[in-house]
Amino acid sequence: MAFLYGKLDEEIYMEQPEGFYHKGQERKVYRLRRAIYGLKQAARAWWQELEQSVKKMGFVRLNADSGIFIFCSKRGVVILIAYVDDIIFFGKKALANEKKAEFMLKWEC
């Protein structure tokens, strides 16, 4: 599911998958607007979308590890760790839950 969120920066066309042909339109091709499973660009497109959205939430990416983001405020610190397409939040319960809820407004988990 995660890789379906990635937006594509380039034009990519594909043939209709087997079993989805419409009579008389067997040779029709489709332009992809979003990444799909199996597409080489899917993981990168998803990662760029994830990074952009957590930065909008106030997180800063760690220089030492691109999969770790930190949010700091007077209320505390929240650490978001992303590995492949798994995400985990660490921090004081109330603030971590707040940031997780904000994250889930965009990302279906």
Reported as type and span, the H/E element at residue 53 is: helix 42-56
What distance in Å separates the CA atoms of residue 46 and residue 34, rounded to the nearest whole number?
Answer: 10
Residue 61: φ, ψ to 5° = -75, 140
pTM score = 0.71
Note the pLDDT of residue 88: 96
Cα angle, residue 46 at apex, residues 80 and 35 outer, rounded to 5°: 160
* Bridge-based pairing state of the strands 76-83 and 68-73: antiparallel
Q: What is the pLDDT tens value at each position of the chain, 109 positions in all?
A: 555 556 667 787 888 778 877 788 878 888 887 777 777 777 777 788 899 999 999 999 999 999 999 999 999 999 999 998 789 999 999 999 999 999 999 887 6
Note the pLDDT of residue 8: 67
Please tell me the total number of residues recorded for the chain in this structure.
109
